[in-house]
Structure 1
């Protein structure tokens, strides 16, 4: 079966539980092609990408979801973004000598920040310790310790494809009895635990759901595409130079031999500015400032 870059929602008709399945193929490989990551970093970055798409599917606004894992260990940063249009990008920062393969070895004493940044609205961030042996366990712990809806993750990636599986409890509707809701949630998770890693990586979504929940009434929604897209631009890099101030920017220009470059850390696109380009940037910024008064 050929995996595609999609996320696909499913819903249990007789229970207040929803789910999401994510497959990342081309988008994942495009992100990895930008940097020569070690295999262990490729896998963790793929898992975090899948998690970001899973979580973004639960949000009902235009904006951005960011997952960032940080530590003082050899793998200092994992950062991924997923927009409401399911456009993803990601990056990792690590030491030259990277030893170990497991999360606890690479990111000891790490933290995971979940940031929700709507285009119109208030920014929210939650932070949790990177507890557990996997990113999925860390995310499970975050939702268990918070007052949010119960949520369960399975994440896998191998440097070629990344897969994610999520179950999430919904507010009481079809089931209102607390004990019944708890029993249903436990039952569906016990079935999910029977999913083998090779099945998650290889089975198409319909087959996977039938394998797990053939005795349940499950509705599978249409798949939505996921793509790699970097949000960097000449305008954004220009604003970074303008923020330096004209004097410092011109000093930097002279120091660099007549050309300043700004590189995107995500996609490695390089933006170049000579004296004429810098003058144009600052003239435009000054005109904009005048218009605000």
Structure 2
């Protein structure tokens, strides 16, 4: 199951998200022969993306991107407001090692690309820390000025992550219960607990919303006990109840995540039509066929001369003579 679970710890002035991804991994990774250590970093980045993009409300895309000159050259994850997620990595043939070995000295960027004419947002920091989770925590501290704790885990069959943020002092407060939250220890009501609507817990903190340092230190201490094995073993509510056993944790309706690449035959065909017949014919003359691999999932697309003739003939018959568009 792929899902993002929002939650609130009202007594500690903190909120967060838990993520789990188990479906679609074979499709996303199956076409690409990533070295194990590269696959580990990509898996953690894929788990991080929904946590970082959970607050997106407008149509568009959130990109988390690493670029460096070491064994791992490029790592990109993309997710939209509907939580449709994909990712890819480019690496040296012998890429191996831990986070520092693969990514040290590179740059980590977070970008929001709204659809249409909306203003783009980008923040970039140098990669530091012993793990991607640490690098992202530092990013939040420098770029967003939000105290944030992140834990990530990636295995062959499951990606998981946990993010907890300190609510800004004075942030206020409609009642979380009025917003449709329930205790993590309370089973969901039959048919869903909030009428099927996604509830954003950002402004659902109970009480004054003021957070003292002792409360955040309490959260910090408990989060330090979370291991990758914990993320792999427990469901979201089980994990929250184990970590914050002495606190009230209010959970919100989970949101589904779709791990899927957006490449398709139709998309590749449109790209070839956009190149124009002369350009495609020159590739055929040189290589005998047009071969394209998706940079994200690695799926291959091949067009032989007969495929190209049929593609452009169908386009011309539909009234979209490609000679007029370049």
TM-score, normalized by length of structure 1?
Answer: 0.86
- State the shift of 1:45 in Å: 0.9
Mapped contact 1:64–1:81 kept (Cα < 8 A): yes
Q: Deviations over 1:74-101 (max 9, x none)?
A: 11122112222222211121111224x2
Structure 2 unmatched ranges of 5 or more? 173-206
2:238 to 201, 204, 207: 207
2:111 to 109, 112, 115: 115
TM-score, normalized by length of structure 2?
Answer: 0.78
Mapped contact 1:137–1:153 kept (Cα < 8 A): yes
Mapped contact 2:70–2:102 kept (Cα < 8 A): yes
Question: More displaced, 21-30 or 180-189?
Answer: 180-189
Structure 2 counterpart of 1:226: 257
Backbone CA RMSD of aligned residues: 2.5
Alignment of 1:165-244 (within 5 A): 165-171=162-168, 172-173=171-172, 174-175=207-208, 177=210, 180-244=211-275
Mapped contact 2:149–2:223 kept (Cα < 8 A): no
1:14 paired to 2:11: yes
Question: More displaced, 218-227 or 40-49?
Answer: 218-227
Between the aligned partners of 2:63 and 2:321, the Cα distance in structure 1 is 29
- State the shift of 1:184 in Å: 2.3
- State the shift of 1:137 in Å: 0.6
Question: More displaced, 54-63 or 137-146?
Answer: 54-63
- State the shift of 1:48 in Å: 0.3
Structure 1 unmatched ranges of 5 or more? none
Give aligned pairs, total: 283
1:104 to 100, 104, 129: 100
Structure-2 change in CA distance of 1:106 and 1:204 (3 Å): same
Mapped contact 2:47–2:159 kept (Cα < 8 A): yes
What secondary structure is seen at the aligned counterpart in 2 of 1:274?
helix
Alignment of 1:19-168 (within 5 A): 19-99=16-96, 101-120=97-116, 121-168=118-165
